[in-house]
């Protein structure tokens, strides 16, 4: 059931009811937990049992199509001391996958070097100049991670250059697959692998498991690798269901053991508490710092950090990443303000899809900014750095509208492109930008229905404010790890009183609230990010409905329950 009343963030609240008979049938869970399970689509004994299972279980890596051929070629390369390279994308998924395969294959005695392209100079995916450079260096076998599935021309060039190519990727494959010795991608036609949602580093991990199954010895254990698997999976927004949930659950244990110097240094640089790192900390603390180097300069810094053997070196690299992350934050904010002003000036917020290009939009942050613009305007957004000859863009979408399908409908325009339903990237000749916008706008007009253009907020359950407690929070924590596909439960409390309001943040951009219920229970602290401009509304006591996630606010050695406010509206 949806409610049309306006809210602080101008969103439609989607309040989903859970049948009473379901809650009664699962009396072993508190009613709130049963409601969340129902809203996650976990409604039978098998699905619920699998969700809560904590045992380490993965499908046979050899059920991935192409895995047998890939393993045979890598084994031969190790045994014959052939030079290899692993080529990854410059985001965190690609960097962690590169780190994993370099670490594993070197431990097995292989000669392998990492290669991550420069975002600005080389762009996304395989490129011919890099292939030629690797061939000149004597590389005989090239393994891609998190990219390659759309690189038809580059794959043909590698074959002509005498380079064996293995593609491992998780992005949606094109109608025609590139030529390669082996393609390992669960989404390719004919692949029987049951779980289709592994990200790039998850597929790289399965490749490592397959190499071990073929008898290659290594001193590494799974816990030496699952830390980077968890970081890459969460940061790339892999849905935390099925195998991804298993990998991240066990990966968090490895992260909190902090055996890898680079992870220890990264935790320290992010100001996180060692031993208490969560999937949310990966999303907002570790992942953005690893992403920063690829967005601002060169992703080499990130995989050097993860491969560092000495803590002192790792700490130095982590400090550099911290500085780059601050630079990335400032740049993103500036570009977002500029883009938002341009969208309104041109009236593009009235279109079903926003397509915007400018020479002043650095390609390193266009994806981040596009995501913020989707949140601001409730429309798929394509943001492009316009160059003299070539332009690079990133696209983000709203739930229910596949942006990769939209770009595929324009495939003839791109030099190269790739991605999935929620996010994609591309390189295009600058003189084709007007045609791209025209075709995307017409595509969206035909295939993007009105109901997907109304920003909405999904609510898992209603909870009286007075029932919030540490016991309830501990029950919710049993549903972790949270992330894409298993978000932190969103709760609503109706008719609560605001008895205090203050701005927070260096520019007063955030809103701090004190809340009680009609019976005076509380008070509870609440924080509403980016709503500081509404503080004056609460100069008089107000009654509101509030939507939030429940968390602990730790400050100066003490902690208290806190509502992380997602939205609020005036109570009836």
Q: Where are the domains of the chain?
A: 2-53+457-570, 61-323, 347-453
pLDDT of amino acid 2: 44
391 burial level (CB within 10 Å; 0-12, 13-18, 19+): buried
What kind and span of H or E run contains 37? helix 31-39
Q: Give the CA distances from residue 235 to residues 125, 165, 207, 227, 436, in Å, rounded to whole numbers and listed in that order.
A: 19, 27, 20, 12, 29
pLDDT of amino acid 413: 97
Task: Find out whether 98 and 303 touch, Cβ atoms under 8 Å.
Answer: yes
How many helices (H) and strands (E) would you count in the chain?
19, 19
Task: Find out whether 194 and 241 touch, Cβ atoms under 8 Å.
Answer: no
Q: Give the CA distances from residue 353 to residues 287, 391, 401, 464, in Å, rounded to whole numbers and listed in that order.
A: 28, 19, 11, 39
pLDDT of amino acid 4: 52
pLDDT of amino acid 5: 62
pLDDT of amino acid 297: 75
Q: What is the pTM of this model?
A: 0.88
What is the number of alpha carbons within 13 Å of residue 478 lying toward its C-beta? 16
pLDDT of amino acid 243: 95
β-partners of residue 429 are 390
pLDDT of amino acid 3: 45
User: Which class is domain 2-53+457-570?
Assistant: mainly beta
The strand pair at 510-516 and 491-504 is best described as antiparallel
Task: Find out whether 398 and 380 touch, Cβ atoms under 8 Å.
Answer: yes
CATH topology of domain 61-323: inorganic pyrophosphatase (n-terminal core) (3.90.1640)
Give the whole-angstrom CA distance, residue 545 versus residue 493. Answer: 6
The strand pair at 164-168 and 182-184 is best described as parallel
Q: Give the CA distances from residue 232 to residues 253, 314, 468, 494, 566, in Å, rounded to whole numbers and listed in that order.
A: 15, 18, 33, 38, 26
User: Is the CATH number of domain 347-453 3.30.479.30?
Assistant: no
**Tens digit of pLDDT at every position of the chain (572 positions):** 444 567 999 888 998 889 999 999 999 999 999 999 999 999 999 999 989 887 888 999 999 999 999 999 999 999 999 999 999 988 999 999 999 999 999 999 999 999 998 877 887 789 999 999 999 999 999 999 999 998 999 999 999 999 999 999 999 898 899 999 999 999 999 999 999 999 999 999 999 999 999 989 888 888 899 999 999 999 999 999 999 999 999 999 999 998 899 999 999 999 999 999 999 999 999 999 998 888 777 788 999 999 999 999 999 999 999 999 999 999 999 999 999 999 999 999 999 999 999 999 988 899 999 999 998 899 999 999 999 999 999 999 998 999 999 999 999 999 888 888 889 999 999 999 999 999 999 999 999 999 888 888 999 999 999 999 999 999 999 999 999 989 999 999 999 999 999 999 989 999 999 999 988 888 999 999 999 999 999 988 899 999 999 999 887 677 889 999 999 999 98
b/e 448-461 (16+ beta carbons within 10 angstroms → b): beeebbebebebbb
């Amino acid at each position: 059931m949806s409610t049309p009343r306006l809210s602080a963030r101008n969103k439609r609240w989607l309040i989903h009811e859970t049948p009473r008979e379901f809650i009664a049938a699962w009396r072993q869970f508190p009613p709130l937990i049963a409601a969340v399970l129902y809203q996650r689509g976990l409604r039978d004994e098998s699905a619920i049992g699998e969700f809560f299972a904590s045992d380490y279980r993965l499908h046979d890596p050899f059920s991935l199509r192409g895995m047998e051929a890939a393993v045979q070629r890598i084994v031969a390369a190790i045994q014959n001391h052939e030079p290899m390279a692993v080529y990854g994308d410059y985001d965190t998924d690609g960097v962690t996958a590169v780190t994993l395969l370099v670490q594993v294959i070197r431990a097995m005695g292989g000669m392998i070097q990492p290669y991550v392209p420069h975002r600005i100079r080389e762009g996304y995916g395989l490129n011919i100049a890099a292939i030629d450079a690797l061939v000149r260096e004597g590389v005989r076998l090239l393994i891609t991670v998190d990219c390659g599935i759309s690189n038809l021309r580059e794959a043909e060039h590698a074959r002509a250059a005498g380079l064996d190519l293995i593609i491992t990727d998780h992005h949606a494959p094109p109608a025609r697959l590139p030529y390669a010795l082996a393609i390992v991608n669960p989404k390719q036609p004919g692949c029987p692998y049951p779980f289709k949602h592994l990200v790039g580093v998850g597929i790289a991990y399965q490749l490592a498991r397959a190499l071990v199954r073929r008898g290659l010895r290594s001193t590494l254990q799974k816990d030496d690798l699952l830390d980077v698997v968890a970081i890459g999976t969460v940061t790339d927004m892999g849905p935390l269901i099925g195998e991804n949930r298993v990998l991240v659950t066990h990966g968090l244990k490895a992260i909190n053991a902090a055996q890898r110097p680079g992870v220890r240094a990264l935790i320290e640089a992010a100001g996180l508490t060692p031993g208490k790192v969560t999937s949310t900390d990966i999303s907002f603390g570790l992942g953005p710092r690893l992403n920063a180097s690829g967005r601002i300069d060169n992703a080499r810094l990130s995989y050097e950090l993860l491969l560092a053997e000495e803590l002192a070196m790792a700490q130095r690299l982590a400090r550099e990443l911290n500085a780059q992350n601050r630079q990335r934050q400032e740049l993103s904010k500036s570009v977002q303000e500029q883009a938002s002003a341009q969208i309104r000036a041109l009236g593009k917020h009235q279109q079903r899809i926003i397509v915007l290009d400018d020479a002043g939009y650095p390609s390193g942050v266009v994806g981040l900014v596009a995501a913020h613009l989707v949140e601001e305007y409730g429309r798929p957004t394509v943001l492009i750095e316009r160059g003299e000859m070539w332009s690079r863009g990133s696209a983000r979408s709203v739930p229910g509208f596949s942006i990769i399908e939209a770009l595929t409908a324009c495939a003839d325009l791109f030099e190269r492109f790739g991605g999935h339903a929620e996010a994609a990237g591309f390189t295009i000749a600058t003189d084709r930008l007007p045609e791209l916008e025209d075709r995307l706008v017409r595509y969206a007009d035909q295939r993007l229905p009105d109901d997907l253009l109304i920003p909405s907020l999904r609510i898992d359950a209603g909870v009286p404010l007075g029932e919030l407690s540490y016991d309830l929070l501990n029950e919710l924590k049993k549903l972790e790890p949270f992330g894409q596909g298993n978000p932190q439960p969103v709760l609503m409390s109706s008719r609560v009183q605001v008895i205090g309001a203050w701005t927070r943040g260096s520019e007063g951009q955030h809103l701090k609230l004190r809340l009680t219920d009609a019976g005076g229970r509380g008070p509870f602290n609440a924080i509403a990010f980016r709503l500081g401009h509404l503080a004056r509304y609460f100069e008089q006591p107000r009654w509101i409905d509030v939507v939030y996630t429940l968390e602990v606010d730790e400050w100066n050695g003490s902690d208290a329950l806190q509502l992380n406010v997602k939205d609020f509206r005036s109570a009836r």
